[in-house]
Amino acid sequence: MAPDCLFCKIIAGTIPANRVYEDEFCIGFPDINPQAPTHLLIVPKEHLASLAKADPEHTPLVGHLMAAATEIARSQKLSNGYRIVVNTGEDGGQTVHHLHLHLLGGRPMLWPPG
């Protein structure tokens, strides 16, 4: 846990969040600035600043986040499809320096995304 990290505080429960998913490795909750009818964040309980900081030892965790996103998408009835986004670094649009996945759905997604 990083003491000044927003997501670490949510994981610890010191900042409330409407948890729609939780297991021993991650939590899922709505984004406070949704960009789609369904916009959830999937956040590992282990503090990892970004995907760029992941080492080979993090492969099981990153894979678990993807599996959790799929499970959450099913529970949210996103059967027409969804998008998973990982913003990494300043140029990638990352604003909270704790690895997290954005799960977006409930409308058609356009390309290119940004």
Instruction: Please give the positions annotated as active site.
Output: 100
The one-letter code for the residue type at 50 is S
CA distance 45 to 112: 31
- Nearest Cα to 99, choosing from 55, 36, 46? 46
